């Protein structure tokens, strides 16, 4: 496991945008998938987006396709994961979690159980 530090959450009006970032460092990262999940009050944690090590394979939940964009920056001993969220809706309100140490191959949307490292979460609130 590796510490993940998230930033970028906040309060925004419907139709607005936010950019979440997650920084992971302290060891060499190789081949692992990273992703974002979210959990709204009273609901289970759900998949939002994931990206493979190379950035070639990317998956989104149907509910965010066309509005959210995931990206990653790989460097020696450090990785940055981003989630650009546009056209936000009140139903996007949730705690967003960064996840790392995921599947070595990304051929389908991953589940939360496939990730070994998690951030502390950052609150995103979208007002109507």
Reduce the DSSP state of residue 24 to 3 states and report it. Answer: strand
- Tell me what pLDDT residue 69 has: 98
Separation in Å, CA 30 to CA 41, 42, 46, 53, 126: 34, 35, 25, 7, 35
- Strands 94-100 and 10-13 come out as unpaired
- 112 φ, ψ (degrees, to nearest 5): -60, -35
Q: How does pLDDT run across 101-114, given as a tens digit for each residue?
A: 898 889 999 999 99
Mean of the pLDDT values across residues 85-99? Answer: 97
pLDDT at 6 over 90: yes
Averaged pLDDT score across all residues of the chain: 93
Q: How does pLDDT run across 22-33, given as a tens digit for each residue?
A: 998 877 666 789
């Amino acid at each position: 496991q590796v510490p993940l530090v998230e930033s970028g959450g906040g309060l925004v009006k419907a139709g607005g945008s936010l950019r979440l970032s997650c920084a992971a460092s302290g060891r060499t990262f190789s081949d692992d998938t990273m992703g974002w999940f979210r959990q709204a009050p009273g609901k289970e944690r759900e998949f939002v987006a994931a990206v493979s090590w190379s950035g070639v394979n990317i998956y989104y939940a149907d509910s965010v396709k066309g509005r959210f964009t995931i990206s990653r920056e790989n460097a020696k001993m450090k990785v940055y994961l981003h989630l650009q969220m546009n056209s936000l809706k009140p139903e996007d309100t949730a705690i967003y979690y960064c996840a790392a140490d995921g599947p070595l191959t990304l051929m389908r949307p991953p589940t939360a159980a496939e990730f070994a490292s998690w951030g502390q979460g950052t609150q995103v609130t979208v007002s109507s």
